[in-house]
Amino acid sequence: MNGEGNEEKMEVEVEVLKKEKLVFMWGYLPGALPQRSPILSPLAVGLPSTVGSTWKDVCGGGCGFAMAISDSGKLITWGSTDDLGQSYVTSGKHGVETPEPFPLPTDASIVRAAAGWAHCAAVTESGEVYTWGWKECVPTGKVFGDPSAGTSSEKDVFERHSTFLTEQDCCGHSLAVSPRSQGSRSSGGILSGTDSRGSGEESSKRRRISAAKQAAESSSSGDENLSALPCLVTLNPGVRMATVAAGGRHTLALSGNIYISWINAVPQPNTDIGQVWGWGYGGEGQLGLGSRIRMVSSPHPIPCIESSYGKDGSAVLRGSMSIEGPGYRVPGNYVKGIACGGRHSAVITDAGAVLTFGWGLYGQCGQGSTDDELNPICVSSLLGIQIEGVAAGLWHTVCISSDGDIYTFGGNQFGQLGTGGDQAETLPRLLDAPGLENVHAKAVSCGARHNAVIAEDGKVFCWGWNKYGQLGLGDVIDRNVPCQVTIEGCVPKNVACGWWHTLLLAESPT
């Protein structure tokens, strides 16, 4: 009986080995095609034979480049520059038109990676974190390479980036900058979407900020080198990270590897499993530390579950639901998932509760208001719904439940909420588009203003902004409802969006 079982197991393992992993890309990846042409439909990406036999995972990428991981644990990048002339992968000193291994200063296998607007982060199999890019996004730690490699021309490029990021997002549209004080809470669940195509007194007020002043504040004063080479992040003893998320200028990391530390020769379990750590810029509360701290230069623990109820035991919940009682706490014991948007963050607990914090101008925190949230706050209207996945875009958030339902909230200027219109939503809204009948969502990712979802049956859906073909539908027409992307001859497994593009990991049937 056991012998027969072992034979069956071996046959299954052999079958798994036969299945090749494929990566497809579409959207805007400068350098990936001649004349910087947008890729309007899924295009297969070749893996260099020198770095592995097949792909392992996709990691999206920031503006103008892509990131993926090979089965040998190498971080693979491709694409070259953005329209401002910033070379290489967020100044990590590497950028090519075809996929090649990124020169990280470690031989350890990479298991997770993420990229923000101007910085990247990668997690090794041993739980170490490497990061590089804008210095304000990179914490103190052991730096690899020659710090004097920066030049004055490089400084000029980053100063232009600082100014550009202040008044516009990476796509060239006006950004609203949140005020330094909390405004009055709105009672409605719908807010008119405004960007460069719209206006409004409140939005106009929030846009009034000096670009020069912001650039000066966000840059490293007196430092001739504003970009950082790959750096090994200094973590507390015994802390090992499982995954990482990168936003506009901030980073979250989630501890999760099983690790035993020795104290007085007695093995102690790691008590930091499921703890969220953050660093970088926190001016809108996206680091969840209770204040508008401009810069956190080393990883700090973010009290997600603890900060979600008052000191007296009463719930600190906002939106459509309020709970009181001395025994109340946010459902769950630890955090199992993290996501970073442009200036906001979202996490999921092991019980399926969602907490958000950071910039709230478009309702992207899902609290029924447009205020910034300086502490992690439970999205109360989703309580009772088991959330399994969360992703965050520039101004919006997308959640998927254990039942496969999709909930969206935040900015909707290009249809990125998938509701069929362009009105922002300050409370989570269940998507019920005609094309989603009997669709059970399993994986989700957000770009700047577009989304991608993989369903349980392998179907892929995209919607939102499509100026550069990032929806993979063969054209450049925006979609305000989820539309199916044609992927033939393979089974989609994971999806990852960059700011202007989408990557898909699929499995060959043979």
pLDDT at 13 over 70: no
pLDDT at 240 over 50: yes
Q: Which of 291, 414, 258 is nearest to 358 (CA)?
A: 291
N-term to C-term CA, the chain: 29
* Lowest mean pLDDT segment, chosen from 128-137, 252-261, 276-285: 252-261
Q: How many CB atoms lie within 10 A of CB 407?
A: 25
Q: Tell me the residue type at 281.
A: Y
Q: What is the pLDDT of residue 443?
A: 97
Q: Is the dihedral of CA 352, 356, 361, 364 positive or negative?
A: negative
Alpha carbons 467 and 201: distance in angstroms, whole number: 28
Domain 2-507 matching CATH 3.40.50.150: the answer reads no
pLDDT at 145 over 70: no
What tens digit of pLDDT does each residue of 216-229 get? 333 333 333 466 78
Three-class DSSP category at 147: helix
Count CA within 13 A, CB hemisphere, residue 214: 18
Alpha carbons 182 and 228: distance in angstroms, whole number: 34
* Lowest mean pLDDT segment, chosen from 23-32, 303-312, 484-493: 303-312
| More confident site: 199 or 255 | 255
Three-class DSSP category at 329: coil
* Lowest mean pLDDT segment, chosen from 22-31, 157-166, 365-374: 157-166
pLDDT at 199 over 80: no
Q: What is the pLDDT of residue 2?
A: 43
Q: How confident is the model at residue 34 (pLDDT cuts 50, 70, 90)?
A: low
CB 310 within 8 A of CB 325: no
Alpha carbons 133 and 503: distance in angstroms, whole number: 22
pLDDT at 393 over 70: yes
Average predicted confidence (pLDDT) for the chain: 77
pLDDT at 151 over 60: no
| More confident site: 168 or 442 | 442
Q: Which helix (H) or strand (E) holds 129?
A: strand 129-134
Could you state, in order of their start, the residue ranges of all structural domains in the chain? 2-507
- Range list of β-strands (E), 178-314: 190-191, 227-233, 241-246, 250-255, 260-263, 266-269, 276-280, 296-302
pTM recorded for the entire structure: 0.79
Read off the DSSP letter of residue 159: H
Alpha carbons 262 and 270: distance in angstroms, whole number: 10
Average pLDDT over residues 114-126: 92
Q: How many CB atoms lie within 10 A of CB 64?
A: 26
Q: What is the pLDDT of residue 37?
A: 81
Q: How confident is the model at residue 387 (pLDDT cuts 50, 70, 90)?
A: very high
Report residue 332 as tokens.
């769950």
Alpha carbons 44 and 52: distance in angstroms, whole number: 17
Q: Which of 234, 211, 3 is nearest to 138 (CA)?
A: 234
Q: What is the pLDDT of residue 242?
A: 95
Report residue 108 as tokens.
């350890």
- φ, ψ for residue 432 (rounded to 5)? -135, 35
Q: What is the pLDDT of residue 325?
A: 40
Report residue 362 as tokens.
């478009």
Q: How many CB atoms lie within 10 A of CB 128?
A: 15
Strand pairing report for 276-280 and 296-302: antiparallel
Q: What is the pLDDT of residue 156?
A: 35
Q: What is the pLDDT of residue 207?
A: 36
Q: Is the dihedral of CA 281, 286, 288, 290 positive or negative?
A: positive
Alpha carbons 135 and 128: distance in angstroms, whole number: 19
| More confident site: 213 or 460 | 460
Average pLDDT over residues 466-472: 96
pLDDT at 326 over 80: no
Q: What is the pLDDT of residue 97?
A: 75
Q: Which of 100, 26, 51, 117 is nearest to 340 (CA)?
A: 117
CB 497 within 8 A of CB 58: no
Q: What is the pLDDT of residue 19?
A: 76
Q: What is the pLDDT of residue 185?
A: 35
| More confident site: 254 or 159 | 254
Average pLDDT over residues 325-346: 85
Contacts of 203 (CB under 8 A, 6+ apart): 176, 194, 361
